[in-house]
Amino acid sequence: MQRHSAPSRQLGEPAPQGAELHALLAAAVRVPDHGKLVPFRLIELRGEAKLAFGEQLAAIAARNPALSESKREKERTRYAFAPLVLVVVARVTAGSKVPPIEQEIAAGCVAYNLLLGAHALGYGAQWLTGWAAYDQDVAAILRLAGNERVIGFVHIGTPQIDVPDRERPAVDEVFSTWTP
């Protein structure tokens, strides 16, 4: 009941690493996986690699002639704040008895488990997508195969401010009982 997203721009050092990161990842991949396909993988962005990734995204975004310099700078620094960004990738096996949506949902569960695990370890985290999650040039930068796509970028670090919780839906608004 305490988990909430911490804005990526408000996440600083430290972030999980070493054995703690390994434990977080081991917990994250304990998801429902119909057919045991393991339809996901994770890519770590940290340090200079994370900044280089942001530079490449800014270059892709700059292809739009209407893009302002401030928006280009936002793209350049989008991944610069949280010390750790994990790219959650769905890896869909075509022709499987398991529908693609179930495979993608399994990858989404990995992303959510990262949020839960980060919180349990005392870190803050935010799951973001944005245009980069759906862009083919970004997929090429990440060296994604044709059957892979980004589910999200999970930013993890230590919150630098107290983050207020947001209003949540009332259970009565989203729960019902089916009757024949």
pLDDT digits 0-9 by tens, 128-180: 999 999 999 999 999 999 999 999 999 999 999 998 889 999 999 999 999 99
What's the 3-state SS for the chain? CCCCCCCHHHEECCCCCHHHHHHHHHHHCCCCCHHHCCCEEEEEEEHHHHHHHHHHHHHHHCCCCCCCHHHHHHHHHCCCCCCEEEEEEEECCCCCCCCHHHHHHHHHHHHHHHHHHHHHCCCEEEEECCHHHHCHHHHHHCCCCCCEEEEEEEEEEEECCCCCCCCCCCHHHHCCCCCC
Do 40 and 89 contact (CB within 8 A), yes or no?
Answer: yes
Instruction: Taking residues 121-130, report their average pLDDT.
Output: 97
Q: What is the pLDDT of residue 79?
A: 95
Q: What is the pLDDT of residue 126?
A: 98
pLDDT tens per residue across span 9-54: 999 999 999 999 999 999 999 999 999 999 999 999 999 999 999 9
Q: What is the pLDDT of residue 96?
A: 96
pTM of the complete model beyond 0.75 = yes
Look at strands 124-128 and 40-46 and give their pairing: unpaired
Q: What is the pLDDT of residue 41?
A: 98
pLDDT tens per residue across span 49-104: 999 999 999 999 988 888 898 988 999 999 999 999 999 999 999 999 999 999 99
CATH 3.40.109.10 for domain 9-161: yes
